[in-house]
Chains A and B, each alone.
Chain A
Amino acid sequence: KNQVEQSPQSLIILEGKNCTLQCNYTVSPFSNLRWYKQDTGRGPVSLTIMTFSENTKSNGRYTATLDADTKQSSLHITASQLSDSASYICVVSAGGGYQKVTFGIGTKLQVIP
């Protein structure tokens, strides 16, 4: 069964600090991995997309890494801002298409002043 596990479930950090969120997956065959940011009550917004051959992808202060051998990914947030407070969801697609997507439960990040 395809699974995506994220850790930690929740995290509180001080504004300006860095943090790293983790994603482990057992999806097979692997197609791509995405990180989404979801503000409370709103739709997810894509941050990064990585395929098998990519091991790092950046989007501003967000940097995602992928280790396809160990089936692990991380999302690093640099110099956090209050607006980074949200849930971060790891999503892994199987096969060559979009039909089979598995979502992680997400990590709820709170950035405090």
Chain B
Amino acid sequence: EAQVTQNPRYLITVTGKKLTVTCSQNMNHEYMSWYRQDPGLGLRQIYYSMNVEVTDKGDVPEGYKVSRKEKRNFPLILESPSPNQTSLYFCASSLSPGLVSYEQYFGPGTRLTVT
């Protein structure tokens, strides 16, 4: 089954304790992206990756890091989480963004709480 998986689905942590949220897709997609979703703000892009070893900042990259060492994986790293990073996070993937009418697939989401 074609899908995007994220782990963990739920995480409660404390300020300053480094964490990683994993994202994996099995569709051989080139493009992957991370979003956060907060009430009243909609989804905002954190980072995206056009292909292996190619990443770039989205609209809200501060406090986050990403890496793309393999095509299927795109982990999101919070080196020193803070309470304002409490949010619902989504990973997404799609074929090459050069194609206009492509489908973007979202993962199930990771609900992160930083105390």
Residues of A at the B interface (CB closer than 8 Å) are 31-32, 34, 41-46, 49, 51, 89, 96-99, 101, 103-106
A98 to chain B, nearest CB (A): 3
Q: Among the listed B40, B43, B98, B106, which residue makes an inter-chain contact with A45, where contact means beta carbons less than 8 Å apart?
A: B106
> Please, which residues of chain A bring their CB within 8 A of the CB of B100?
31-32, 51, 96
Q: Among the listed B4, B92, B97, B111, which residue makes an inter-chain contact with A99, where contact means beta carbons less than 8 Å apart?
A: B97
Q: Among the listed B92, B103, B108, which residue makes an inter-chain contact with A49, where contact means beta carbons less than 8 Å apart?
A: B103
Interface range for B: 20 to 34
Give Cα A14–Cα B46 distance, bound, in whole angstroms. Answer: 38
Tell which of B33, B42, B45, B101 has the most Cβ of chain A within 10 Å. Answer: B42
Q: Among the listed A41, A44, A97, which residue makes an inter-chain contact with B97, where contact means beta carbons less than 8 Å apart?
A: A97
Residues of B at the A interface (CB closer than 8 Å) are 4, 31, 33, 35, 40-45, 48, 50, 56, 88, 90, 92, 94, 97-98, 100-104, 106-109, 111
**Closest residue to B50 on the A side, CB-wise?**
A99
| Beta-carbon contact of B42 and A104 below 8 Å | yes
Q: Name 10 A/B residue pairs within 8 A (Cβ), A-sorted.
A: A32-B101, A43-B92, A44-B106, A49-B103, A89-B43, A96-B100, A97-B97, A98-B102, A103-B35, A105-B40
Give Cα A106–Cα B90 distance, bound, in whole angstroms. Answer: 16
Give Cα A34–Cα B90 distance, bound, in whole angstroms. Answer: 17
> Please, which residues of chain A bring their CB within 8 A of the CB of B107?
43
